[in-house]
């Protein structure tokens, strides 16, 4: 049964916060094999970048890094651990397309994630 929801009027649609997903991820043929869920995860990781920057999470090479655990992916996307691992692998520079780079810290500490900026590299 569909929900009985009101319509938007005027600028009322601007009341929400949104995640940004770069348009190129959806339109560029080089990303055609990346799943929609992995593209959504990339948008979530980009969103987390702002918080990390404000918190001063910058390495000795001046790169912003984030921590976004598999548990956070599972909670946010309502998925199981296998899918969270697969989505990270799709985006990873080792196994996937290269939109993120993960660095394990060991000793039970969370993995550091560098979200890569592809916008200036892709042209033509």
CA–CA gap between residue 47 and residue 51 (Å, rounded):
8
Query: How confident is the model over 1-16, as pLDDT tens digits?
Result: 889 888 777 777 677 7
Q: Is the pLDDT of residue 99 over 90?
A: yes
pLDDT score at 27: 93
pLDDT score at 13: 66
Query: How confident is the model over 14-70, as pLDDT tens digits?
Result: 777 788 899 999 999 999 999 999 999 999 999 999 999 999 999 999 999 999 999
CA–CA gap between residue 50 and residue 55 (Å, rounded):
9
**Listed range (36-40, 83-87, 88-92, 115-119) with the worst mean pLDDT:** 115-119
* 94 vs 87 pLDDT, higher one: 87
What lies within 8 Å, CB to CB, of 80 at 6+ separation is 74
CB atoms within 10 A of CB 45: 22
Domain locations in the chain as residue ranges? 34-115
pLDDT score at 120: 65
CA–CA gap between residue 54 and residue 58 (Å, rounded):
10
Q: Is the pLDDT of residue 123 over 60?
A: no
What does CATH list as the number for 34-115? 1.10.10
């Amino acid at each position: 049964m569909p929900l009985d929801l009101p319509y938007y009027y005027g600028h009322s649609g601007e009341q929400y916060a949104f995640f940004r997903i770069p348009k190129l991820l959806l339109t560029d043929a080089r990303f055609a094999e990346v799943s929609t869920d992995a593209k959504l995860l990339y948008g979530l990781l980009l969103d987390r970048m702002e918080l990390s920057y404000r918190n001063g999470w910058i390495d000795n090479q001046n790169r912003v890094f984030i921590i976004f655990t598999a548990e956070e992916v599972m909670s946010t996307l309502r998925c199981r651990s296998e899918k969270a691992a697969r989505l990270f692998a799709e985006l990873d520079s080792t196994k996937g397309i290269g939109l993120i780079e993960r660095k394990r810290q060991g000793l039970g500490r969370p993995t550091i994630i560098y979200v890569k900026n592809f916008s200036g590299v892709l042209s033509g």
